[in-house]
Structure 1
Amino acid sequence: MDVKKGCRIISLSQGRQKIHENYGLWICRTLQKAVFGPREKIHPRSFEFFCLSHMIGGKGWYWSQKTGTVKILEEGQGIISSPGFVQFYSGNKENYIEDSICFTGVIAQNLFRSGIIRDGIINIGKGRRLLPIIDSAADPAMDSQIRANQSLLNLLTDLYFENRNKGKENIESAFETLLRSISEEPGKWWTVKEMAEWCNLSINHFRRLFLARTGLNPKGYVDNLKINKALEFLSDNDASISEIAGRLGYLDQYHFSRRFKEITGFSPLRYRLEFLQPPAKH
């Protein structure tokens, strides 16, 4: 997608009450079942406040300047944006329908510093969990404002624990499918960026987790898998060295043979003759 130049800043509105200052949290604006049409271009923007958007209908996509990638949103997912975080989300060929709550204050800042609030996509579910908070926040009475603030704190905390536990399961599942795909597509040269995006992780985080899980860095893992596949393919005497090189994604037989020898100590042909040929009969 094309990214438009510049960044639009959405300013904080007026209307803060004394209770908001004393409490340390202010719900400054809300939207209920708001409909936004599909967009094909990225229009970078940032908020002067925190924003929690819940996609309750339609289809959407999300982009952030930090990752530079576009991710597809599913109904029930949400987006958290902190002040100054450059992002954009919109409808994906259909309308993006949302409930949203924007908020600010020292409590929100502390939640962000502690990691309870994080920028990006979160799972909220298909129930309209923001709606009771939106209804309370619409009443300017002090009791309603206190009730809305407390409910928002409870929701943010619940979402943190739900997504943290789900995130571990998702990462584990993503690793399993990634390793399976690498094995099933031995001719593909995976980049670290592709693998990290598959697992929805930053490159540095992915490298650390990959090493801890496999004992190898991503490039070394792909290299070793290709050579192990080559050992299997070499047992088929009908397959030429050139054909095996092509099946493993090498540009030519020379590059494959050189890499094979670096790892095994033998050229592919020597390995086949030494270890895979049946012993001569006497």
Structure 2
Amino acid sequence: MARIANPSRADPGSALIGAGHIFNKSRSNPASGTIGRVLPAYALVYLLEGGGHYEDDAIGRRAVSAGDAIVLFPGMRHSYGPFDQPLWSECWIIFRGGVFSQLEAEGLIDRSRPVITPGLRPELIAAFDALIRDFNGHDPRLVPVLAARTHGLVADFARCDQERGPRADAIAVACARLGEALDRPLDLERLARGIGLGAERFRKVFALSVGIPPARYRQLRRIDRAKQLLATTLKPLAAIARELGYCDEYFFSRQFKHVTGLSPARFRRDFGASAGA
């Protein structure tokens, strides 16, 4: 589920050195929070579900929730996790090298602002998933490619945070609601009214802000929820399909593979609890 490369075998220059998912990190687990850690490298943590807080000596404590990302800096003591919240699911990468130091030097990432809010953007989730999958393929030929993709991903996170428009809060509310009650039909008109827009205007504003229509966003949130269920439970595929509102497990499986590039069974084998840490 979460693997870090052997430092003695890692590329001596810029490199992605760790990548993984953590699903259902719970406050009931005493080890679920990261407390007082200092990394020798950079890291990016993308919160996919739930919430909690982040803390360091410079900014103190602040709340974080799904759609936020935490940039962790070398030598900077930090703590984060669900702590007082019931749920936290994330994907993460650890990386090092001069090209990433340059991002900091240019101000694209900033130690005084380690928590950014790109939102739950499908293209960021997909790029993160692909990076984790390829890193865990352990192909040494990909080391420079993965470093370049990591650099691009970190830059994309910063860009999405900086480009939040005047309706960002309303879109964030809509995104949260589109991720709820995934087994039920989507009432788009009711959702649009809840943020003060007509249905057609909402579709346009949402697609402009997020990059895809609301229905497609909800479909991808179903897949995100399916990944969490596959990684943390032994529920059969038919039960997961029903829980997420699919007509049958075969349609669910086809859609899952189309989005993630892996079959549900392969995803469970690679990232389930039995896959180890």
Looking at CA atoms only, which structure, 1 or 2, has the larger radius of gyration? 1
TM-score by length of 2: 0.49
**Structure of greater relative contact order (alpha carbons < 8 Å, 6+ residues apart):** 2
TM-score by length of 1: 0.49
